[in-house]
Structure 1
């Protein structure tokens, strides 16, 4: 099976964006602070069991999701490079 890395990345970004929105809304509604790990946990819980993990580099999928979440929150993920 061939994995399209670009589509996989876009899917993971979309899932992370949704988790950021959900966790942020929950934080506002409950006045309870959240951490990046809460977002990562939300994304991980929503992934199918066969969802691929990175096969290169030292980072884990959780590291990748955490980086995406930070970049979504600070807006840098939307800046053109």
Structure 2
């Protein structure tokens, strides 16, 4: 699977947003507190085999997803 870096970032943002929403909903329904790592795990489990890792910035795919999840949760991703 070949994806350019912009498309990869946009796809991972969409997947992470969906995982944040699902985990938040599950947390509200069950009263269980989840961590950012649980969101990262959800995104990683849903990725198709051979899904590329980001190559810029020197971070792993998990680290990139974690940064995205934290930015989504605190709202920083949506500012400006």
Normalised to the residue count of structure 1, the TM-score between the two structures is 0.91
Q: Aligned residues, how many?
A: 80
1:14 partnered with 2:14: yes
Secondary structure of 2:58 counterpart:
coil
Deviating above 6 A after TM superposition, structure 1's stretches of 4 or more consecutive aligned residues are: none
Normalised to the residue count of structure 2, the TM-score between the two structures is 0.92
Unaligned runs of 5+ in 1: none
Q: How does 1:59-70 map to 2 (within 5 A)?
A: 59-70=59-70
Unaligned runs of 5+ in 2: none
Backbone CA RMSD of aligned residues:
1.4
| Greater relative contact order (CA < 8 Å, ≥ 6 in sequence) | 2
